Amino acid sequence: MRTRFVAALATLTLGVGTALLSDGGGAAPAAAAPPPAPPVTAPAAPGTPATTYTNPVTEPFADTYADPAVVRGKDGWWYLYATSDPLVSGGPFGNMHVARSRDLASWDYVGTIFDEENRPEWAADASFFWAPDIRYVDGRYVMYYTVTDTAANPDPWDYTVGVATAPTPTGPWTDSGGPVLDPRPAPGGGYLNTIDPALFADRDGTQYLYFGGFNGGIWVTELDATGTRAVGTPTRVTVGDRYEGAFVVERDGWYYLMGSSANCCAGPVTGYSVYTGRSRSPLGPFVDHEGVGLNESRVGGTQVVVQNGNRWIGVGHHAVLTDASGQDWMLYHAIDKDDAWLDRPGGVNRRPTLLDRMDWIDGWPVVNAGAGPSEGPRTAPVAASDLRITSADPASGHGLRRVSGTLARGTDSAGDAGALARLVPTRRDAAVVRTAPAPRDVRVETDVRLPDDAGSFTATLGGSGRPAVSVELDAGARELVVAQGHRVRRAALPASTDLTSWHVLTVTAADGGVVARLSSSGLGDLDAEVRLEPRAALPRRAPVHLAAAGAEVQVDNLTVVAAHEPVTRRAAEPRAGAVTFAEDFSGALDPGWEWLHGPADVTVGDGALSWPLTGHDLVGEANDAPALLRDAPDGDYVLETTVTLPLGQDTVRNYQQAGLLVHAGDDDFLRLAPVSIWQTRQVEFGKELTADGRWWGGHVSGPVADTMHLRLFHTTDAATGEHRFRSATSRDGRTWRFGATWTLPADADPRVGVYAGGGASPATTAVFDEVLIRDLD
């Protein structure tokens, strides 16, 4: 039953006040005994949060910190996890790692997840533990991770997923005793990539585990009530040769599946990046912004973050968090193109963790409005409360004022929260409230627990002569309710929601609407969400009230801050200008063209360069593929071609391709082309270089069509003189998708042109309609 705001409430007022008071209806309840100390140093009193940060955020303690995962602990600290690697050059190997921060900007290392004492016994001695995923579920921390080799099979690399639980974010971790799902044999031998787990809890209470990689695709399976074992038949949600590193969030009724593509670990030529697709169901189908599916041979995906030409390449395998203002952020690893190796070339890749703002523009997530990974100081996330509230100890200090009922400072004896605020109704429990004003566009976030699974918790915005908006978490009715006067919106809680465990409640009043969300982890999962557009506007500076009715409510990690102002416009993309050179293949080739490793067996005429594919290639030691090249112009320019290459779908015809080439040498070049990669058809923007060896890698994009329009935008870095080449592709010549940026050294003198090759079977001919050079507009 929903209670009225004016009755049976123990109310906190945000502004000024005292720490432990009773209204005369009875003595204040005694604080519970403190819990055992977690296996880390006790938190220091929080200081002033950082206002800026600089990537990589893990630089103070680690040279590499890859595959990051994050959770906010109930003790108020943020915890950052990473895959198994040495942390520093020459350092010992660690079986997954954990660090922590108060403000998301300054991080301190804590330790490893597994050691010889708690290492899962069902994992083979030679197994690695990769890609942790962390959530808070029903009073405990749950970590999923990749096991690369089990003891049950004699064959190596029988990948699967394990799960461990702990009472605190730092452990002690107890493995479940077996895999979440069995290793999956591949049809041609070996095993499918059952790797990179990611949990998502839907608002009906169903727990889904996403997993998988390039060999087999990303899949999703339901989990049992314990969250430790898969049930039912998994569903494949991406094509088998494109994505890994899944992460799923729900927003505005859409489920967004984000995943990384291309090689994670090719040192200075790593083209890893993050894409997304969305669906109305957690089981898919997931499609990109043009409606192209992630599970198709001509695979789709909307770019979320990609290298932009600064020091960072190979940006991917990420996690998403939301700061106190409601702004989303992405944590992901990256490689410094000039410092790619941890110890030696060809060894462990140096992949520190980066943090950048993630915006939502036109319904799609994108990092820094599309500008890509950041370099240099940036505005830090909002991680502390305004109004003098001590977030991790809300009953202390002068941030909260008791108006009625009892406010007591307690200690979490059932978990790791430490100090907390106890709101306890008494026999008077009248609600008389007065607060310091909060911003009109405000976001309130708190961990809330109803230890008796009874009563209700209410957050109220507004008043002062205008109808207030209240958000109520009602244990009796098992509802989340938003109301203003007689206008009420409500959402039922899943049967699995245990209100005696901590949940994250957020209330955002901005842009004329109020949104309330209840979540277990606050990581894009939802137990319930309610939206209301008030008929009467909230005052510009209005009070915020928190109240308990019917039974004790416990509150922790409380923040009240101005709601973030969303970024709604993408960063400007480059534009192609006037044509300065055109080759239309209507007759003899322009005399500026020269053949490299040729001539090829081509036909020129009638507006086409017809080029039968052969098995020759430029990558590696062969260096025998023909290419048609000319001198590049000075300054900024755009290189463009239109090529028809019918590669079909679904069949394997590795690695037939045709497209643009930027050639500084047989082992130092860039190429952009549609290509057949196993059963997929993608666009690859690849790079080969020589630096302590020969290295090849690439960024992959798409989608493709039989006829593709390709562009490379060339600019020069004003500070370094480096050549920057940014890729763009189109299926119709009008709508362009921008991709990665690769660089060449300042002293490079590349020639530019077209090439074809990569495979002679089945017989295929690439047809180039034109090659253009344009000004940069």
Task: Please tell me the total count of domains within the chain.
Answer: 3
| pLDDT at position 429 | 66
Percent of the chain's residues with pLDDT above 90: 84
Q: Out of 27-36, 306-315, 523-532, 549-558, give the one with best mean pLDDT.
A: 306-315
Read off φ and ψ for residue 268, nearest 5 degrees.
Answer: -75, 0
Verify that 546 and 688 share a domain, yes or no. Answer: no
Token reading at 451: 């230890």
What range defines the domain where residue 643 resides? 576-776
Q: Mean pLDDT, to the nearest integer, of 181-208?
A: 96
d(CA 237, CA 480): 32
At 316-328, the pLDDT tens digits run 999 999 999 999 9
d(CA 212, CA 63): 27
Helix, coil or strand: residue 369? helix
C-alpha triplet 387, 388, 389: angle, nearest 5°? 90
Verify that 504 and 605 share a domain, yes or no. Answer: no
Which CATH number belongs to the domain containing residue 310 in this structure?
Answer: 2.115.10.20
Verify that 119 and 185 share a domain, yes or no. Answer: yes
**Cβ 58 vs Cβ 80: under 8 Å:** yes
Sheet of strand 627-631: strand arrangement: 594-596, 627-631, 751-757, 657-665, 668-677, 680-690, 694-701
| pLDDT at position 426 | 81
Token reading at 662: 């930027």
Concatenated DSSP letters of 297-331: SS---EEEE---SSSEEEEEEEEEEE-TTS-EEEE
The type of residue at 543 is P
The pLDDT of residue 14 is above 80: no
Which of 520, 538, 562 is where one domain is finished? Answer: 562
Verify that 217 and 287 share a domain, yes or no. Answer: yes
Which of 324, 349, 379 is where one domain is finished? Answer: 379
The pLDDT of residue 652 is above 70: yes
Indicate the pLDDT class of residue 18, thresholds 50, 70 and 90: very low
| pLDDT at position 427 | 74
Q: Mean pLDDT, to the nearest integer, of 280-308?
A: 99
The pLDDT of residue 27 is above 50: no
Indicate the pLDDT class of residue 433, thresholds 50, 70 and 90: very low
- Given 23, 67, 158, 583, the catalytic residue: 67
Plot region of 118 (φ>0 → left; ψ -120 to 50 → alpha; else → beta): alpha
Q: Which of 326, 380, 259 is nearest to 522 (CA)?
A: 326
Percent of the chain's residues with pLDDT above 70: 91
Indicate the pLDDT class of residue 522, thresholds 50, 70 and 90: very high
Mean pLDDT of all residues belonging to the chain: 91
| pLDDT at position 438 | 83
d(CA 743, CA 738): 16
> Which residues are paired to 356 by β-bridges?
330
Which CATH number belongs to the domain containing residue 405 in this structure?
Answer: 2.60.120.560
Indicate the pLDDT class of residue 682, thresholds 50, 70 and 90: very high
The pLDDT of residue 85 is above 60: yes
Verify that 214 and 194 share a domain, yes or no. Answer: yes
Q: Mean pLDDT, to the nearest integer, of 716-743?
A: 97
Picking from 55-64, 397-406, 443-452, 503-512, which range would have the lowest pLDDT averaged per residue? 397-406
Indicate the pLDDT class of residue 534, thresholds 50, 70 and 90: confident
Verify that 348 and 437 share a domain, yes or no. Answer: no
Q: Which of 240, 223, 241 is nearest to 232 (CA)?
A: 223
Mark whether 244 is an active-site residue.
yes
Q: Tell me, yes or no, whether 47 lies in a domain.
A: no
Verify that 83 and 218 share a domain, yes or no. Answer: yes
Q: Mean pLDDT, to the nearest integer, of 570-593?
A: 97
Picking from 156-170, 434-448, 551-565, which range would have the lowest pLDDT averaged per residue? 434-448
Verify that 277 and 188 share a domain, yes or no. Answer: yes
| pLDDT at position 414 | 87
Q: Mean pLDDT, to the nearest integer, of 28-47?
A: 33
At 219-242, the pLDDT tens digits run 999 999 999 999 999 999 999 999
Burial zone of 404 (CB within 10 Å; 0-12 exposed, 13-18 middle, 19+ buried): buried
Verify that 374 and 390 share a domain, yes or no. Answer: no
Which of 500, 532, 562 is where one domain is finished? Answer: 562
Verify that 410 and 272 share a domain, yes or no. Answer: no
Which CATH number belongs to the domain containing residue 720 in this structure?
Answer: 2.60.120.200
Q: Tell me, yes or no, whether 32 lies in a domain.
A: no
Indicate the pLDDT class of residue 403, thresholds 50, 70 and 90: confident
| pLDDT at position 539 | 66
Q: Tell me, yes or no, whether 760 lies in a domain.
A: yes
Q: Tell me, yes or no, whether 203 lies in a domain.
A: yes
Say how many Å lie between the first and final Cα of the chain, rounded: 64
Q: Mean pLDDT, to the nearest integer, of 747-775?
A: 97
Q: Tell me, yes or no, whether 31 lies in a domain.
A: no
Encode 420-457: b = buried (16+ Cβ within 10 Å), e = exposed. Answer: bbbbbbbeebbbebebbbbbbbbbbbbbbbbbeeebbb
- Given 103, 244, 296, 556, the catalytic residue: 244
Q: Tell me, yes or no, whether 550 lies in a domain.
A: yes
Mark whether 67 is an active-site residue.
yes
| pLDDT at position 467 | 77
Verify that 232 and 374 share a domain, yes or no. Answer: yes
Strand intervals (E) in 87-159: 93-101, 108-114, 129-137, 140-147
Q: Tell me, yes or no, whether 630 lies in a domain.
A: yes
| pLDDT at position 646 | 97
Concatenated DSSP letters of 411-461: E-SSSS--EEEEEE--SS---------EESSEEEEEEEE-TTS-SEEEEEE
| pLDDT at position 377 | 98
Token reading at 624: 């025998």
Verify that 164 and 240 share a domain, yes or no. Answer: yes
Q: Tell me, yes or no, whether 328 lies in a domain.
A: yes
The pLDDT of residue 640 is above 60: yes
Picking from 117-131, 264-278, 388-402, which range would have the lowest pLDDT averaged per residue? 388-402
Q: Which of 187, 225, 72 is nearest to 678 (CA)?
A: 187
Residues 6+ apart with CB under 8 A from 735: 290
β pairing state of 553-562 and 442-449: antiparallel
Q: Mean pLDDT, to the nearest integer, of 140-147?
A: 98
Longest dimension (CA), the chain: 99
Indicate the pLDDT class of residue 1, thresholds 50, 70 and 90: very low
Residue with tokens 């942390």: 87
β pairing state of 174-175 and 160-166: antiparallel
| pLDDT at position 512 | 78
Q: Mean pLDDT, to the nearest integer, of 112-141?
A: 96
